[in-house]
Amino acid sequence: MKISRPASLAPSGTAGKTTSVARSKGKGFAAKLEKASAKSQLAAPTARPAAVGSARPVSDIGADLKAGRLTPQAAIDKVIDRIIAQQLGIHAAPAAKEEIGATLRARLADDPLLAAKVRALSDE
């Protein structure tokens, strides 16, 4: 099988010729770049303030786990509860919360890497 070169996109009369490009001072480019950057920042969607403000890290759960105030399973349950509360909100149907919680627990058990991490918590 023979592979041939793709056809040139340049018109046949300009093959091999270079076009002249006007030299720019760079200041116009920088101004255009700043203008485009400002437009993209204005157009970029922003995070909801409620979601950012309600995001709670799990460092307190980790500290309680290390201090022995929580069992590994209780810590995992608290993390799952926080995930559900963060994603669904407080007004979600209890059935939806239970279903998603069960799904997350099943994924923790089914995924080999996550299951190993859970076992490592119990071994510590």
Is residue 85 included in any domain, yes or no?
yes
- Please, where are the H alpha helices in the chain? 27-43, 49-54, 59-67, 72-88, 94-110, 112-123
C-alpha 62/C-alpha 124 separation (Å) is: 12
Nearest to 78 by CA among 121, 111, 47: 121
Highest mean pLDDT among 12-16, 18-22, 105-109: 105-109
More confident: 75 or 29: 75
For range 14-32, the mean pLDDT = 63
- Residue 41 resides in a domain: no
In a domain, 7, yes or no: no
Q: Per-residue pLDDT for 113 more than 90? A: yes
91 within domain boundaries = yes
What does the pLDDT look like over 34-85, one tens digit per residue? 777 776 666 555 544 444 444 467 889 988 988 999 999 999 999 999 989 8
Residue 12 counted as domain residue: no
Residue 40 belongs to some domain of the structure:
no
Domain that holds residue 93: 55-123
Residue 47 located in a structural domain: no
**Total domains in the fold of the chain:** 1
